[in-house]
Structure 1
Amino acid sequence: MTEQDQGQGQTPDQTAPAPEKKEKRQLSLNVVSNKEHRGFGAGTIDLSAVSCVIIDQGEAYIDVGAMHAKSKVEKGIKFSPDKELVPNGRLCWIVWVAVDRSEEGSYYAGATACPMLVDTEARRGWKILAQHVNNLDYAIKRRFVLSELSAEEKAALRGLLIANNQEWWDRSPEELKQALA
């Protein structure tokens, strides 16, 4: 530093102040709607009220990994939209279950089932990703799409929902109870 610089109040030990850090925005899933957009994150949905149920060989169980295609049955499987590539696949289901809350308490508000074929030995599978996304959306929108499930699969899902929380089942819409009867 020159004497001239020091005369302006700067010393060799001083450093320029650090620039202010901008707060990092959290990314979230946006849903397109006809509402006016109000900036970053507007129209976001909360997926914490959605659970993933897998039905495999007559057994239903909760597997949160299915939200990101990393459920127990999906791990290590290369999926294709071509059903012909999975001739020996077994039928499995992902059921998206949405929970809502009313004055009486929580209840199962939406449930939709999506098929997939899984051949564990060949490490190949079939599913239609668009159907999985649409059915997740339908569950969030409080719809029930369960008609493709067999009687055994419906019974397994019904049993799991009741065992998970009997009170939620009791408060659930009659439409769900009829769909799983």
Structure 2
Amino acid sequence: MSNEDGSKQKKSNAFTIMKDDSTAGHGGYGVGSVSLENISPVIIDPNESHAFVDMGAMHARSEIERRVKFLPNKDEVPNGLLYWIVWVTVERGENGPYYHGVAGSEVRVDRSIKRAYKSMPEHVTHMDKSMKGYYIVEHMDDASKKLLADFLREFDPKMWENAPDELKDALPAQ
């Protein structure tokens, strides 16, 4: 990414840490709506051994989702490269912020034919489950789970330390 003057600009790699109360307790407009301010999509790229936050995934416009047409059938993208969009929810506990929910959703991308596969119902369900504090990573391949675990540990060691053992048990040790 570069600015108008050609200088390089570092991409932001940050989680949204805490959610706000958009209604501020007044009970008016926005009551009953879901706040997405404490959830961040982490892209796991096992092809390049890379993990990064890409907020564009909130609107299906992440780096891996751009310039491809999505198909609902995985068989139509037989040569697609595997990626994961992992929905990571952060909450605040008595010891500070922690990884409250983590749920990975598969994406297959074949740039040569500009086609990709992802199950929108799965992504919506996993985002919802992450916000509710579930850890859904058992279907991910081992290399991707290790990338995710390393990313979460390194991103904020305190949030990892504060996370429940259920998450730590679901992801491989260092």
- Match for 1:43 among 28, 32, 48? 32
2:163 pairs with 1:172? yes
Moved over 4 A (4+): none
Quick check: which has more Rg, 1 or 2? 1
Q: Which runs of 5+ in 1 are unaligned?
A: 1-37
Look up the match of 2:22.
none
2:41 maps to amino acid? C
**Correspondence for 1:145 among 136, 142, 147:** 136
Partner residue, 2:54: 63
Q: Output the CA distance in 1 between the equivalents of 2:102 and 2:62.
A: 18
Partner of 1:88: 79
> TM-score by structure 1 length?
0.76
Corresponding residue for residue 118 of structure 1: 109
Shift in Å, 1:122: 1.0
The 3-state SS of whatever aligns with 1:47 is: coil
Q: CA separation of 1:42/1:68 partners in 2, compared to 1, >3 Å: closer, same or farther?
A: same
Q: Give 1:77 shift.
A: 0.9
Mapped to 2, the partners of 1:80 and 1:96 lie a distance apart of: 21
Counterpart pick for 2:99 among 102, 108, 111: 108
Contact 1:60/1:157 (CA < 8 Å) preserved in 2?
yes
2:163 alignment partner AA: S
Cα deviation for residue 45 of structure 1 reads 2.0
> Do the aligned partners of 1:59 and 1:153 also contact (CA within 8 Å) in 2?
no
Aligned length: 144
The 1-side partners of 2:75 and 2:171 are apart by: 30
Letter in 1 for 2:129: Y
Q: Aligned equivalents of 1:55 and 1:145: distance in 2?
A: 14
Structure 2 gaps, min length 5: 1-26
2:140 and 2:128 map into 1 onto residues whose CA distance is 19
- Name the stretch that deviates more: 62-71 or 40-49: 40-49
Q: Report the RMSD for the aligned CA atoms in angstroms.
A: 1.2
